[in-house]
Amino acid sequence: MASDDYEIQIVANLDELSRRVAEEFISRTREAIQAKGFFTGVLSGGSTPKALYTLLASNRYLDQVSWLKIHVFWGDERCVPPTHPESNFRMASDSLLSKVPIPKENIHRMPAEQEDHDRAAQEYEHMLKTFFRLKTGEYPRFDLVLLGMGDDGHTASLFPGTAALKETKRLVVANYIEKLHTYRLTLTAPVINYASNIMFLISGEPKASILKEVVEGAYEPSRLPTQLIQPVEGRLVFLVDRTAASKLTKENPRTL
C-alpha cells in the first residue's frame, strides 16, 4: 500500500468477521446519530457481506440499530434490474433491508438498470450532491463504507485497467469492464476515500495471494485498484479471515 495508515484485523472465519463488522456497524450508527441525527452507510455487493446483512437483520442485532435514522447507499451496482439475481440491491434487500424498519426513502438505490448508463451515474451523483448539500468540487463524507475485494484486486467496480480508476472529479461513473463485457455503476475512489470509516470484508483462501500483493507489494493501483483506497482523514480497516490472511508476512496484522 502507498501509505501504512490502515489496520489489518485477522479473525478466525467468515462468521467471526461478520459478527465483528456488525458490531462496528452498530457503533458507527450510534456515533453518527449522536453527532448529527442520522447515519450514512455504503453497502458492498458481492457475496461476502451477505452473512453480515443476515446477521444485522437477526434478533441478536436488529434492535441495536435505530433503523429510522439510517440511510443506505451502494458502492457499486451491476447494470441489471433490481430484481435480477446479480443485483447488489436485491442481495441487500433480501438479506437485510426487507427485514428491518428502514424507511423506503432512506434506501438510496443506484438506478443501474437504465439503458443509458452515464445518465444513471449522473442521476446518482445528483442525488448524492443534493443529499449531502455539496458545493462544486466537494465530496460526500459517508460515515461508513463497506467494501469487498475481488481476487483480481478490484473493489466496488473499480476494476484493473479501467477508466474509472483515473476519475478524480466525478462522484459516480459508469465503468466499462472489458473482461465482464458489461458496464457497472461505481463510486469513484475519491468519494470512498473521503469517508470517515472504510472497512474491507475479505474472506477465503482465493483472496490470500492478491491480498498479499495489495498490502505488501509495490504500489500499482492500475493493476491493484484496492490500493487506491487511502482515506483522506478517515479510518481504514481490513477485516480478514485467517485463510485470506494466510500469505501475509508483515507484523502489522493484529490477530484477534
156 makes contact with ligand 6PG (CB under 6 A): yes
Span interacting with ligand 6PG, options 96-104, 134-142, 148-156, 212-220, rule CB under 6 A: 148-156
Among 32, 102, 128, 148, binds ligand 6PG (CB under 6 A): 148
Residue placing its CB nearer to ligand 6PG in the complex, 29 or 44: 44
160 makes contact with ligand 6PG (CB under 6 A): no
Q: SS3 string of 30-96?
A: HHHHHHHCCEEEEECCCCCCHHHHHHHCCCCCHHHCCHHHEEEEECEEECCCCCCCCCHHHHHHHHC
Give the residue nearest to ligand 6PG (CB). Answer: 148
224 makes contact with ligand 6PG (CB under 6 A): no
The pattern of x and - marking residues 36 through 75 that bind ligand 6PG according to CB under 6 A reads --------xxxxx--------------------------x
- Give SS3 for 2: coil
| Least distance (Å) between residue 140 CB and ligand 6PG | 18
Number of residues located near ligand 6PG, criterion CB under 6 A = 15
| Least distance (Å) between residue 130 CB and ligand 6PG | 24
* 165 contacts 228 by C-beta, under 8 angstroms: yes
Span interacting with ligand 6PG, options 23-31, 58-66, 152-160, 191-199, rule CB under 6 A: 152-160
* 185 contacts 79 by C-beta, under 8 angstroms: yes
Q: 9: how many CB neighbours lie within 10 A of its CB?
A: 18
Among 18, 95, 155, 188, binds ligand 6PG (CB under 6 A): 155
| Least distance (Å) between residue 59 CB and ligand 6PG | 25
CA distance 242 to 8: 11
Q: For the purposes of burial, counting CB atoms within 10 Å of the CB of 130, is it exposed (0-12), middle (13-18) or buried (19 or more)? A: exposed
CA distance 215 to 152: 14
Cα distances (angstroms) measured from residue 238 to each of 11, 21, 203: 11, 11, 10
For binding to ligand 6PG (CB under 6 A), which residues are involved?
44-48, 75-76, 88, 148-150, 154-157
